């Protein structure tokens, strides 16, 4: 299957984050952007990329057996709460690795990653959890100012 066409995607007027996420997912899968929250097999290059990113991030090897999910659905725990949808997830037999990609300072939410952690631990209590927040360097906003 062909990869996403970067020039064609520009016509959709995606924001920078969504554009980057769609391109990254397409590169990992070596194919078109999948249905949200579907489990997919990464291409060999995608497996290598994710494996190297995992080693750089955690200092250990990523299991060879995994599924890749774009827009990983984490349902709300109660009716008054919201679902969570981390940008990406890598699911191994014993581990859940959540990846959140940020390119826009305005899209950072202080409670986002802790909420994803809460939902992930609720829905996947039998798995070890790793969480990676990929973003550019930003100025820290001091809460006392």
Taking 50 as the threshold, does the pLDDT of residue 20 lie above it? yes
Identify which has the larger pLDDT, 28 or 3. Answer: 28
Per-residue confidence band for 89, with pLDDT thresholds at 50, 70 and 90 = very high
Predicted pLDDT at 23: 85
Per-residue confidence band for 145, with pLDDT thresholds at 50, 70 and 90 = very low
Distances (CA, A) of 63 to 54, 95, 102, 114: 10, 9, 25, 25
Please enumerate in sequence order all residues whose Cβ is within 8 A of that of 41, keeping only pairs 6 or more positions apart, or say none. 29, 67, 68
For 35-47, what is each residue's pLDDT tens digit? Answer: 989 999 999 999 9
Rounded Cα gap, residues 89 and 72, in angstroms: 6
- In three-state secondary structure terms, 69 is strand
Predicted pLDDT at 82: 92
Contact 4, 26 (CB under 8 A): yes
Q: What are the structure tokens assigned to 91, written together?
A: 């699911």
Predicted pLDDT at 1: 47
Predicted pLDDT at 12: 63
For 96-116, what is each residue's pLDDT tens digit? Answer: 999 998 876 666 677 899 999
Least confident of 11-15, 106-110, 140-144: 140-144
Percentage, residues of the chain above pLDDT 90? 63
Q: What are the structure tokens assigned to 58, written together?
A: 């955690």
């Amino acid at each position: 299957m062909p990869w996403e066409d970067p020039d064609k995607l520009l016509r959709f007027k995606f924001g920078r984050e969504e554009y980057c996420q769609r391109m990254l997912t397409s590169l990992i899968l070596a194919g078109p952007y999948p249905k949200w929250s579907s489990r997919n097999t990464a291409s060999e290059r995608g497996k290598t990329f994710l494996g190297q990113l995992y080693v750089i991030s955690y200092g250990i090897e990523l299991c060879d057996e995994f599924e890749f999910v774009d827009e990983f659905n984490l349902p709300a725990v109660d009716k008054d709460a919201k679902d969570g949808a981390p940008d990406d997830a890598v699911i191994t037999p014993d581990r859940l690795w959540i990846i959140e990609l940020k390119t826009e300072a305005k899209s950072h939410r202080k409670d986002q990653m802790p909420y994803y952690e809460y939902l992930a631990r609720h829905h996947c209590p039998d798995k070890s959890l790793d969480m990676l927040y990929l973003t550019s360097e930003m100025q820290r906003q001091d809460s006392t100012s």
